[in-house]
Chain A
Amino acid sequence: MQSLPFDYRQVFSTMNSHSVSYLLVGGLNYFLLHKPVTTQDIDLLIEDTPQNGSRCELALKELKGEWGRRDEDWGPVSEKRDGWLSSQSVFCLLTNCGPLDIFLSIPGIPNYQAAFLRSIALELDTNTSVRLISPADLLECQFAIPEAYRKPERIAFLRGKLEHGG
């Protein structure tokens, strides 16, 4: 990667233009919906179906994604065989819009469709919208991972928000 931008709007816009079904999870979700904490990648949970995977592969090509299972495989996703996105649960890519993590499954979210129905739509500008997992689901994600990886400050904030009907 020549430059290291962090253009999440372009990522959402590209995913939307390819009709990828996805939800924003992780630190950027917390950043946009709750508090401006530091985050250094964009975490997307995509619906795990072959059709959606194919659409996501096209979007990642357009974002000039680079990925590899190992050092030797690292390279542009445009050179990967169709269906490469179904080979594991999580993919950590580099794109021309910044580091991007694609989750086909994520701890705390057992059912994508149910999480989608609970998600929150956010219009960032007239051309860009994104759906974010709900605060309750974001909290579930925290509890579903080992304690060492949890973010106590986020847990306390989300709990407080949910208790006050936020």
Chain B
Amino acid sequence: MEDDPILSRSTEFDAEHTKRDRRISERQRRQWADGLISCLPDSMGYRAACTPQARMKEQALLNELVENWKANRLAE
């Protein structure tokens, strides 16, 4: 049976990533992460998520998830 070309490409990609990633120190990774996150305010999506309406919508969804989880645990 021939190898799946998509799977083989994805394995190659993972290997390539791993090879590169192990050369990055923990400190470098954090610096890069800080740099990335400091750019968040430039994102339209971030700005849209920062309105009281967006926060209340998120809050309603999260409360529903938590309350359902609590109710299921009680029912178990």
A: which residues have CB within 8 A of B? 1, 3-6, 8, 31-32, 36, 39-41, 66-71, 74, 88-94, 98-99, 101, 103, 105-108, 110, 124, 144-146, 149
Distance in Å: Cβ of A106 to nearest Cβ of chain B: 7
Docked CA distance A77–B62 (Å): 20
Docked CA distance A36–B59 (Å): 24
Which residues on the B side are within 8 Å of A6 (C-beta)?
37-38, 40-41, 46
Interface of A is mostly: loop
0/1 string, B37-55, CB within 8 A of A gives 1: 1101101011101101101
Docked CA distance A70–B70 (Å): 23
Q: How many residues of B contact A (CB 8 A)?
A: 29
Distance in Å: Cβ of B21 to nearest Cβ of chain A: 10
Residue of chain A at shortest CB distance from B59: A92
Docked CA distance A30–B53 (Å): 26
